Amino acid sequence: MTALRMPEPDAGVFARRAEIVRRLGEIVPGEGVIADPRGLAPYESDGVTVYAQAPLVVVLPETVEQVSAVLAYCHQEGIKVVPRGAGTSLSGGALPLADGVLMSMMKFNRVLEIDFPNRCAVVQPGVTNLGITRAVEHEGFYYAPDPSSQIACSIGGNVAENSGGVHCLKYGLTTNNVLGVEMVLMDGTVLRIGGKHLDSPGYDLMGLIVGSEGLLGVVTEVTVRILRAPETARAVLVGFESSEAGGQTVADIIAAGIIPGGMEMMDRPAIHAAEDFVHAGYPRDAEALLIVELDGPAAEVSHLIERVAEIARGNGCVHLRVSNSDAERLVFWAGRKAAFPAVGRISPDYLCMDGTIPRKELPHVLARMREMGEHYGLRCANVFHAGDGNLHPLILFDANIPGELDKAEAFGADILRLCVEVGGCLTGEHGVGVEKRDLMPAMFDETDLAHQIRVKCAFDPKQLLNPGKVFPQLHRCAELGRLHVQRGALPHPDIPRF
Amino acid sequence: MAETYAPRDADETRTFLAWALAEEKPVEVIGHGSKRPIGRPVQAELTLDLSGLSGLSLYEPEELVLSAQAGTPVAEIEAAVAARGQELAFEPMDYGPVLGLPAGRGTIGGLLATNLAGPRRLSKGAARDHVLGIKAVSGRGEAFKAGGRVVKNVTGYDLARGLSGSWGTLAALTEVTFKVLPRAEASETIVLSGLDDHRAVAALAAAMGSSTEVSGAAHLPADAAVATGAATGGTVGRDGRAATLVRLEGVPVSIAHRADMLMGLLAPFGRIERIAGAPSEALWRAVRDVAAFTPDRAPGTVLWRVSVAPSAGPVVAAAVARAVPDSRAFYDWQGGLVWLCLPATPRGTDAAPSGTAADAGAATIRAAVAAAGGGHATLIRADAATRAAVPVFEPQPAPLAALGARLKAQFDPKGILNPGRMA
């Protein structure tokens, strides 16, 4: 396991473990508490398995009252709590703490209400992303944000991570598709924010909660917007001799006023890995492969797909196919969607990075990544959400070779710093979690971070909920609260006044 | 008279607020003051005028990103992006006309601070859904930034969104970054006439629930249709009947196809007309800016903005009309946004559940909203005495209010920024 500094475990809490387990068992009776080592093992890590840590105890509440009572008890006793949905986090956001209670929300798995006239669904947080679509598709509706893990990931986790997917350039991220939440604060307070109406009175707490990585509260109910599925979708598969030509095509499509339903790019190593895996008919001689999907009314899609093809030809593409059936469209996507397992076949291990850049910086960033790869002696394959500049460099390594994991991690950190340097950010969709926590100062200075932590202090002053994630160092709220102000003798004469 | 300071940049803004904090002097934060009459009147010794922080600092059309100093006029930004075939897709409304102030005077910082939106709110979101990053000075006199300038970013808490709709009570924005989107090539409006409110909202729900990608869904009862028609050269309301509006935008070939689909879908609801091009655009601007209830068209009235589930819109308006017979309403957002225009001293209110005349209808409206499934009502236009006496923004349940107060205390511990504004 990689070196990672977590908050110092509380010896007092360890000493009280038996008492804590007993008390939790009273709040959540039956099989709602897991305390034996074999039972805890499945919870040791989330999607980032390089980080593993058994929790103190796992609790699986079934009702809001139980969630509230567990949190209130832990708050009173000073016990840390890590909330967890399906555990598909790719940044270690659900990594347990040795002295913390792991609260699994997977028993909250019911669709509570579907309201087609108001185009929303009310669901519990453990419902999977795809489960929402499954619940409404009989009327032709769907839930738009579609992370690649949508078959497994829970909507509660989507709220925590502000998840997106291929569709998010056109249809927005979770934050744009959530209308309301019920959540429980660390002290056990139950809150309802939003609902079937738009916007909330008071501060935009929903804006803060979505993407807060489980540090502000435990979500117990979510109201999401559902959309009528587009009439049709078609895709274009385009190969280029250079990433520059691919990048220019993306820029030209946007400049032409076209916002595709999805726009994805892969580099040569990723193309080869995917083609070997699924035989989608990808051109092996291309340096960059672009998949552009247009969705909407059939007449519009046909019209726009021609324009996209023209733009691609204008940029000298060497390969171009337009899907003429849904089956063909899905074949185009098959390779891209299987890119991660495909790369898994060509390397014993890989690290999946997640940074966003201004799209125009793509050629520069790819060139710099090649240089870094040479420096570290590691290969890298790239899949890229081209529409929104979200890069996923897959750094290939072999964990059995001493030192390779460290090199891969250093390579990944360099890539993310580069993303920030060119005007981008550390994470486009996976979250900061523990994985990118110590890189936060590359993007935010101390005052920026202090203002973020102040949000945490408003929600969870004792910092008991998922501590050690997102922020590189734990300030106590009291330390942040000090005001250093020099008494101004004079109203500033240099500022214009009237 | 409050003393006004007009910094020229973010650093002067920080210096000024650090000084105001040290002196514990309350500050009213304004851009051009275009939304100043909304909310509780602020009692402040000092005014921070951010209109000097003006100008685009970054505009990259192919990246769909724009950054501007907070005091930049929205009109200037809209013109700059229109020149490149783009727009702020959330179609921000202009509060000027409905407040009896000139149009086109808002700033981009004010737009985010008040989370503006227009008819496209129901399909494309509000300002909060398009903001990517901010720079600001908190009530601690500290400059900070949040978010970034790429369209996809989940790095840290989304403070840019957290500050949207905070009415300058947590921090003074100094720069904002927004996502921009291509402007549609064409638009067209399908108009159904003569529907009652419930039937109209059912028609709008049918349109929104179809795959025709409707970008605007409004209903103007007869008097609102007549007033809106008068403001737009008679596009609607000529026959004195209600007008139910459904907007399509996109490439012309697509609009033609979708309009045909909608005509079929909406045929059972009644007579249909189609309005295209400039008259259609003017009509939606009039809906956006509440032309039906501007002070010259609705003299001596107070104006409320109510957000509820779309199907609850007509229920709320009907309940208010029963208590306050002279009240008028029109609906945007498929019925979910109800603009309620009430007499300032309503007649025939004896049956109202509380002193309607004294509270501008607040108790009646808020009871109707609660009974219809929840939402919120904001008093947009009333004289200062009324706004000082009535909770302008929806009162919140105690736990939410307490959390809001803790957030305020974290960002503005001495309460120097726009004190009382959101109360």
Mean pLDDT of chain B: 95
Chain A nearest-CA distance from B107, in A, is 20
Number of residues written out for chain A: 498
**How close B244 comes to chain A (CA, Å)?**
17
Per-residue pLDDT of B367-406, as tens digits, reads: 999 999 999 999 999 999 999 999 999 999 999 999 999 9
What is the CA A431 to chain-centroid distance, rounded?
Answer: 5
Give per-residue pLDDT as tens, A228-253: 999 999 999 999 999 999 999 999 99
CA–CA min distance B73, chain A (Å): 20
Instruction: Choose among A298, A356, A486: nearest Cβ to B152.
Output: A356
Q: Which residues of B touch A299 (CB under 8 A)?
A: 253-254, 256-257
Output the average pLDDT for chain A: 94
pLDDT more than 90, % of chain B:
93
**What is the Cα–Cα distance from B140 to A451, expressed in whole angstroms?**
10
Which chain A residue shows the shortest CA-CA distance from B251? A300
**Are B145 and A440 within 8 A, CB to CB?**
no
Label the pairing between strands B171-179 and B131-138. antiparallel
Q: How far is B354 from chain A (nearest CA, A)?
A: 23
Mutate to test the interface with A, among B5, B53, B153 (most CBs of A within 10 A): B153
Residues of A in contact with B410 (CB under 8 A): 454-455, 457-458
Q: Phi and psi at residue B322, in whole multiples of 5°?
A: -65, -40
A224: closest CA among A326, A132, A147?
A: A132
Was domain B186-288 assigned CATH 2.40.50.140? Answer: no
Size of interface A-B (CB pairs under 8 A): 315
End-to-end CA distance of chain A: 63
Q: Mean per-residue pLDDT for A18-28? A: 98
CB contact under 8 A, A175 and B161: yes
A215: left (phi over 0), alpha (psi -120 to 50) or beta: alpha
Give tens-digit pLDDT for A370-420. 999 999 999 999 999 999 999 999 999 999 999 999 999 999 999 999 999
User: Which chain B residues are within 8 Å of A197, Cβ to Cβ?
Assistant: 307-309, 312, 336, 374-376
The boundaries of every CATH 3.30.465.10 domain in chain B are: 1-183+394-423
Locate the chain A residue with the closest alpha carbon to B209.
Answer: A228
Burial class (CB in 10 A: 0-12, 13-18, 19+), A460: buried
Determine whether the interchain pair B162/A203 forms a contact, defined as Cβ–Cβ distance below 8 Å.
yes
Q: Which of A384, A495, A498 to mutate to test the interface with B (most CBs of B within 10 A)?
A: A495
* Amino acid letter for position A485: V
The answer to whether residue A59 scores a pLDDT higher than 50 is yes
Confidence (pLDDT) at A148:
86
Is B308 close to A251, i.e. CB distance below 8 A? no
Choose among A189, A300, A430: nearest Cβ to B399.
Answer: A189
Predicted pLDDT at A306: 96
Closest-CA distance of chain A to residue B389, Å: 18
Q: Distance between CA A125 and CA A223 in Å, rounded?
A: 10
User: What confidence tier does B243 reach under pLDDT thresholds 50, 70, 90?
Assistant: very high
How big is the CA angle at B28 (ends B27 and B30), to the nearest 5 degrees? Answer: 135
Question: Are residues A175 and B213, on separate chains, in Cβ contact within 8 Å?
Answer: no
Q: Which pLDDT score is estimated for B348?
A: 47
Identify any residues that bridge with B338 across adjacent strands, giving them in sequence order: B306, B331
Inter-chain CB proximity B22 and A451 less than 8 Å: no
Give the dihedral sign, CA A214/A218/A224/A230.
positive
User: Which member of B210, B254, B337 has the closest CB to residue A300?
Assistant: B254
Question: Which of B211, B131, B136, B139 has the alpha carbon at shortest distance from B170?
Answer: B139
- Spell out a b/e string for B176-196, using b for 16 or more CB atoms within 10 Å of the CB, else e: bbbbbbbbbebbbbbbbbbbe
Chain A residue with the nearest C-alpha to that of B203: A117
Angle (nearest 5°) at CA B65 between B64 and B69: 150
pLDDT higher than 90, residue B355: no
pLDDT beyond 50 at B354: no
| Coil, strand or helix at A296 | strand
Chain B contact probe: residue of A425, A444, A453, A460 with most B CBs at under 10 A = A425
Q: Which residues of A touch B333 (CB under 8 A)?
A: 198
Query: A222's torsion region: left (phi>0), alpha (psi -120 to 50) or beta?
Result: beta
Give start-end residues of each CATH 3.30.70.2190 domain in chain B: 186-288
Find how far residue B44's CA is from the centre of its chain.
Answer: 25
pLDDT of A311-326, one tens digit each? Answer: 999 999 999 999 999 9
CATH of B1-183+394-423, one of 3.10.510.20, 3.40.50.2000, 3.40.50.300, 3.30.465.10: 3.30.465.10
Q: What is the pLDDT of residues A265-300, one digit of tens each?
A: 999 999 999 999 999 999 999 999 999 999 999 999
Contact between chains at B153 and A356 (C-beta distance less than 8 A): yes
CA atoms within 13 A on the CB side of A48: 23
In contact, A414 and A379? CB cutoff 8 Å: no
Render pLDDT for B252-301 as a digit per residue (tens, 0 to 9): 999 999 999 999 999 999 999 999 999 999 999 999 999 999 999 999 99
Q: How many CB atoms lie within 10 A of CB B237?
A: 23
List the one residue out of B22, B5, B48 whose CA is nearest residue B141.
B22
Rounded to a whole number of angstroms, the distance from the CA of B407 to the nearest CA of chain A is 5
User: Which pair of tokens denotes residue B386?
Assistant: 């009324």
Residue A423 makes CB contacts below 8 A (sequence gap 6+) with A357, A358, A361, B148, B149, B150
Count other C-beta atoms under 10 Å from residue A5's C-beta. Answer: 11
* Residues in contact with B94: Cβ distance below 8 Å, sequence separation at least 6, in sequence order: B34, B74, B103, B104, B106, B288, B289
Closest chain A residue to B144 measured between Cα atoms?
A448
Contact B340, B348 (CB under 8 A): no
Nearest by CB to residue A198, choosing from B257, B333, B397, is B333
CB A143 within 8 A of CB A136: yes
A153 close to B (CB below 8 A): no
Cα dist. A353→A395, A428, B155, B178 in Å?
A: 8, 10, 13, 26
Residue of A228, A250, A454, A498 to mutate when probing chain B, most B C-beta within 10 A:
A454
Model confidence pLDDT, tens digit, residues A457-496: 999 999 999 999 999 876 788 777 666 556 655 566 677 7
Q: How far is B58 from chain A (nearest CA, A)?
A: 12
Interface with A, mutate which of B144, B155, B376 (most A CBs under 10 A): B155
Q: Are A428 and B154 a contacting pair at CB < 8 A?
A: yes
**Which residues contact residue A54 at a Cβ distance below 8 angstroms, ignoring those fewer than 6 apart?**
A37, A40, A41, A43, A44, A96, A98
Q: What does the pLDDT average to over A340-366?
A: 93
Instruction: Convert the pLDDT of each residue in B208-235 to its tens digit.
Output: 999 999 999 999 999 999 999 999 988 8
Nearest-CA residue of chain A relative to B379? A201
Q: Give the rounded distance of the alpha carbon of B356 from its chain centre.
A: 25
Task: Give the pLDDT band of residue B79 (cuts 50, 70, 90).
Answer: very high
CATH for B298-392, options being 3.30.60, 3.40.50, 3.30.70, 1.10.150:
3.30.70
CB contact under 8 A, A117 and B311: yes
Give the model confidence (pLDDT) of B178-214 as tens digits.
999 999 999 999 999 999 999 999 999 999 999 999 9
